[in-house]
Amino acid sequence: MLMSNPKATKLRELISSGVFLPMPCCFDALSGKMIEQAGFNLTFMSGFAASASRIGAPDLGLMSYGEVVDHARNITDATSIPLIADGDTGYGNAMNVIRTVSGLAKAGCAGVLIEDQLAPKRCGHTPGKEVVGREEAFDRIKAAVDARENGDDILVMARTDANHTYGLTEALERAQKFHDLGADILFVEAPKNEEEMKQICSELPGCKMANIVEGGLTPNIPMTELNEMGYQIAAYPLTLLSASMRAMKNALVNLKSDTPRDNDILNFSELRDIIGFEEYYEISSQYETSKRNKPE
């Protein structure tokens, strides 16, 4: 029996509409909440950013399946827009992929990324990447699609990193097979120039995602040009993490030197509002025992 998932339904509707979808990526519940408050239609739980924020470690396959599902659930609980989660390699064989996809669907994710890197995976814009053979890569995507077809209402994003090791032709052939197996979104990681990006869009069917890492391997071109090329989704996996880290770094320098910090921080009222204090007070005011806790 299909597990109903309104966020997956919403993501399908967004893709079916054909509208271009900028996708800032979150790293925790608060960043996901702020993405929604800023008016974006969807978000992605960046594996790089989540690993940094949750365990303070690089995106080198260190976060476990259980930690990823728990982290995703925190984000889906705090947001109403569709969340696509980074399921990495699926954490094992085809049976592990099924469990990963099912677990993330149950956590309320609208989509899940499964990739063809050799475990432990690496950030797509760092050295040392390797991919598994075609047979194993195809099994992973088939298992993810099987999980979806057998009752887990979630979209499958299929990623290949084969361009790094074997070149773009191999990456395109893998991505085409992923589509044939039933993947909903195709993600060819780290094209090195605009020509490769155009080739990806012209040769592959369906919904395609560009991954824009500031300072990474893929050209950081305007969204209008990405749309014209044929990409429908543009992910920005590190923009918010990097911006928040820079702000914290500057604030810490000023705090250590006892320099005024008013320009580094939000005003306290705005801070409370973003987090949701006023919404909490409004809802809790319906209950007599809560009224005494509402500030005057």
Give the CATH number, domain containing residue 142: 3.20.20.60
Q: Does 226 lie in the same domain as 277?
A: no
Total tally of structural domains belonging to the chain: 2
C-alpha–C-alpha distance, residues 271 and 9, integer Å? 32
Is 253 among the domain residues? no
Q: What string of DSSP letters covers 153-165? A: --EEEEEE-HHHH
Q: Does 26 lie in the same domain as 59?
A: yes
Quote the pLDDT of residue 161: 96
- Contact indicator for 53, 73 with CB cutoff of 8 Å: no
Q: Does 130 lie in the same domain as 216?
A: yes
Q: Does 96 lie in the same domain as 217?
A: yes
Is 294 among the domain residues? yes
Is 157 among the domain residues? yes
Q: Which two tokens stand for residue 144?
A: 């993810």
Q: Where are the alpha helices (DSSP H) in the chain?
A: 6-17, 29-37, 47-55, 65-78, 94-106, 134-149, 162-166, 168-181, 194-203, 223-229, 239-256, 268-275, 277-284, 288-291
User: pLDDT tens digits, the chain, 296 residues: what are they?
Assistant: 556 899 999 999 999 999 999 999 999 999 999 999 999 999 999 999 999 999 999 999 899 999 999 999 999 999 999 999 999 999 999 999 999 999 999 999 999 999 999 987 877 666 768 999 999 999 999 999 999 999 999 999 999 999 999 999 999 999 999 999 999 999 999 999 999 999 999 999 999 999 999 998 999 999 999 999 999 999 999 999 999 999 999 999 999 999 988 888 999 999 999 999 999 999 998 997 766 665 55
Q: Does 282 lie in the same domain as 140?
A: no
Range of the domain at 273: 266-296
Quote the pLDDT of residue 3: 64
Is 78 among the domain residues? yes
Q: Does 286 lie in the same domain as 182?
A: no
Quote the pLDDT of residue 129: 81
Is 138 among the domain residues? yes
Q: Does 289 lie in the same domain as 219?
A: no
C-alpha–C-alpha distance, residues 212 and 227, integer Å? 13
Q: Does 101 lie in the same domain as 47?
A: yes
Is 249 among the domain residues? no
- Contact indicator for 141, 183 with CB cutoff of 8 Å: yes
Is 60 among the domain residues? yes
Q: Does 291 lie in the same domain as 183?
A: no
Is 256 among the domain residues? no
pTM of the model: 0.94
Nearest residue to 164 (alpha-carbon basis) of 213, 127, 210, 111: 127
Q: Does 107 lie in the same domain as 35?
A: yes
Q: Does 295 lie in the same domain as 220?
A: no
Q: Does 270 lie in the same domain as 229?
A: no
